[in-house]
Structure 1
Amino acid sequence: MALILAGALVFATTAFAKNIVGSGAAERLTGTEGPDVINGLGGRDTIRGLGSDDILTGDTGPDEVYGGFGNDNMNGGSGDDRLIGEDGNDQGLGGFGHDTLLGGPGDDNLEGNEAPDVLNGGDGNDTLDGGSGGDDINGGNGNDTIFSDTGPDRIDAGPGDDIIHLNSDPPSAVKSIDCGDGNDTVYNTPAPKGRTNRKLLAVQPNCENVIDLAAERDPTRGITWSGNGTKNGTDRNDRLNGQGGSNTLHGHAGNDILWGDARHTGKAGKQSDLIDAGSGDDTVYGGRGKNRILGGDGNDFLQGNGTISTIFGGNGADNIRIAGKNTIVDAGPDDDTIYAITASGKARVSCGAGNDTVIVSRFKGNAKRVTVAKDCEKKKKG
């Protein structure tokens, strides 16, 4: 186990980290080679994460966000933004506005919103979801998964064995699809009340497999849900968004994506979320209130954003980020990485068995507010 205090030299490895907040004006904000947290606030900002795994938020205004090296988490916020992941397995959320999201090398997860967006996965096995606008989606090289929602999207899957999911609601929407090279599969998802848009099936001739899910169902895709309350996923790959209020989300099996509320944006409230990811390699974002996050089995990405968060990694090599105020982490028995980069509140980290890495930011005395349990200290001495 390596306990890294950002800004110090530990085991001949230097790790720097910063928490940078803009002023609301147009600015250029640049991070370090460590795991940075940068929020541009208002204005036309240019944000660069440089090295390591960064959390980068443009917030309001038309921003440009560059992830750099590492597995970065980028959120454009409102405004017409450009998110460029560059190297690493990046996650990009466009937010409100006409956004452009470019993944670059790596297995990226890019998601637009209601407005027309441009998404390009680049190299790697990417997951691309344009949202409900009329989007331009290009998978690039690799075996990609593309979700086309209710808008008239233009899709170029690119080389590789790709999977394309189409939404038939409204049935008048017409999709333009070019599957590119590779053995691709197009799933035509039936709309509510069983309606199916036959025009969606008139795709380009280089789409090898076109399946009308009015009669069949993709065995890997689960449900997509947004709302409040309690929701159970399936044994497939589900996407559950709790939005506002108090929620209980159960992912069950499959590689799920779970949000506690409104995709971790907005003001903190009194809501309380329980998120049980279940088995599989899951991605979990806590809400802005109280969170209890259970990773379960699998190599998960778990982020607590709230005023009080309790995170249990469970089995698997997990990536855990402390991004809220008061957080308790029990990493679990395997080789986990914990990023304690919050700038407010306290955090307590327990490593459990396994060869774990804890990275602590020194931003405004943050290191003094993070308590690392004795099991982590023993691993360091060993």
Structure 2
Amino acid sequence: MFTPPTLRSSLRIVARASLVATLAAVGVAASAYGAYASSPEPESLQCTLSGTASSDTLFGTNGDDVLCAFGGNDVIYGAGGNDIILAGAGDDQVFGQGGMDTIYGEGGYDVIYGGNGADNVYSGAQADQIYGNNGADTLYGQGGNDVIRGQAGDDYLVAGNGNNWLYGGNGFDTLHAANGYIDHVDGGAAYDTCYFDYFDSVVNCE
């Protein structure tokens, strides 16, 4: 089960050869990913803007920001730049907007929009909704019954623990739902590659 990392104003993540090891560096259990994932390999993090334990609205800049929301039901806008966003506890709304963003949903029931660019998005422990956009996005479910939509672009979607809904959308997508849970998998338009359990509901996969 996913355990949200303990956030600090200064957080270091050591690069690793695999996603499992990388997420373990911030206290994230990534056993559901198996061999599907590759590491985002961040070098280090220093929060450029931090929220509070209450419900905050955070606005990034057109530069490369690290936004740490902490507790509360937050609304977070990455704006431009290649941002890293840690949504923290609470039911959050996250908008990556421009740039190639890396977003961690963490605790709560989150709604995450990657925005333009090739984004990496990781859901949290609850039932989250994740939306890519027109880039080649990499979207990972963790705990909870997530809804993951790749939208446009050649996307890579992974279902974590829970009964998930994966929608590839437009583009040549890869969808992984062989997680031992009953999932709904829809590749969408174009030629898609799908991995699933025999009891999953699967359509539009070649």
TM-score range relative to shorter protein: 0.7 to 0.9
Deviation track 1:201-244 (CA, whole Å, cap 9, x = no partner) reads: x411x211xxxxxxxxxxxxxxxxxxxxxxxxxxxxxxxxxxxx
Q: What residue in structure 1 maps to residue 186 of structure 2?
A: 178
1:121 aligns with 2:132: yes
Letter in 1 for 2:185: I
- Give the Cα–Cα distance (whole angstroms) in 2 for the partners of residues 89 and 71 of structure 1: 5
Q: What residue in structure 2 maps to residue 59 of structure 1?
A: 70
- Give the Cα–Cα distance (whole angstroms) in 2 for the partners of residues 168 and 107 of structure 1: 25
Q: 5+ residue gaps in structure 2?
A: 1-8, 10-45
- Give the Cα–Cα distance (whole angstroms) in 1 for the partners of residues 183 and 106 of structure 2: 23
Mapping of residues 118-267 of structure 1, within 5 Å? 118-169=129-180, 173-188=181-196, 197-200=197-200, 202-204=201-203, 206-208=204-206
* Offset of residue 36 of structure 1: 7.4
Name whichever structure is richer in strand by fraction.
1
User: Which protein has greater RCO, CA pairs closer than 8 Å, 6+ apart?
Assistant: 2
- Give the Cα–Cα distance (whole angstroms) in 2 for the partners of residues 185 and 132 of structure 1: 23
- Give the Cα–Cα distance (whole angstroms) in 1 for the partners of residues 56 and 114 of structure 2: 19
Q: What residue in structure 2 maps to residue 50 of structure 1?
A: 61
Q: 5+ residue gaps in structure 1?
A: 1-19, 21-34, 189-196, 209-382
Q: Is the contact made by 1:135 and 1:152 (CA closer than 8 Å) also made in structure 2?
A: yes
Q: What residue in structure 2 maps to residue 292 of structure 1?
A: none
Letter in 2 for 1:175: D
- Which has the greater radius of gyration? 1
TM-score normalized with structure 1 length: 0.41
Q: What residue in structure 2 maps to residue 80 of structure 1?
A: 91
Q: Is the contact made by 1:149 and 1:167 (CA closer than 8 Å) also made in structure 2?
A: no
Q: Is the contact made by 1:135 and 1:151 (CA closer than 8 Å) also made in structure 2?
A: yes
- Give the Cα–Cα distance (whole angstroms) in 1 for the partners of residues 159 and 111 of structure 2: 16
Paired-residue identity, %: 35
* Offset of residue 154 of structure 1: 1.1
Letter in 2 for 1:198: Y
* Distance change in 2, residues 1:167/1:132 (3 Å): farther
- Give the Cα–Cα distance (whole angstroms) in 2 for the partners of residues 89 and 38 of structure 1: 18
Deviation track 1:289-314 (CA, whole Å, cap 9, x = no partner) reads: xxxxxxxxxxxxxxxxxxxxxxxxxx
* Offset of residue 166 of structure 1: 1.3
* Offset of residue 168 of structure 1: 3.1
Tell me the secondary structure at the aligned position of residue 186 of structure 1.
strand
Q: Is the contact made by 1:36 and 1:49 (CA closer than 8 Å) also made in structure 2?
A: no
Dislocated runs of 4+, deviation >4 Å: none
Q: Is the contact made by 2:47 and 2:68 (CA closer than 8 Å) also made in structure 1?
A: no
Q: Is the contact made by 1:118 and 1:130 (CA closer than 8 Å) also made in structure 2?
A: no
- Give the Cα–Cα distance (whole angstroms) in 2 for the partners of residues 150 and 36 of structure 1: 29
- Give the Cα–Cα distance (whole angstroms) in 1 for the partners of residues 178 and 187 of structure 2: 17
TM-score normalized with structure 2 length: 0.75
Mapping of residues 287-298 of structure 1, within 5 Å? none
Q: What residue in structure 2 maps to residue 69 of structure 1?
A: 80
Deviation track 1:38-94 (CA, whole Å, cap 9, x = no partner) reads: 010211100000210000011011111100010000001111111110000001001
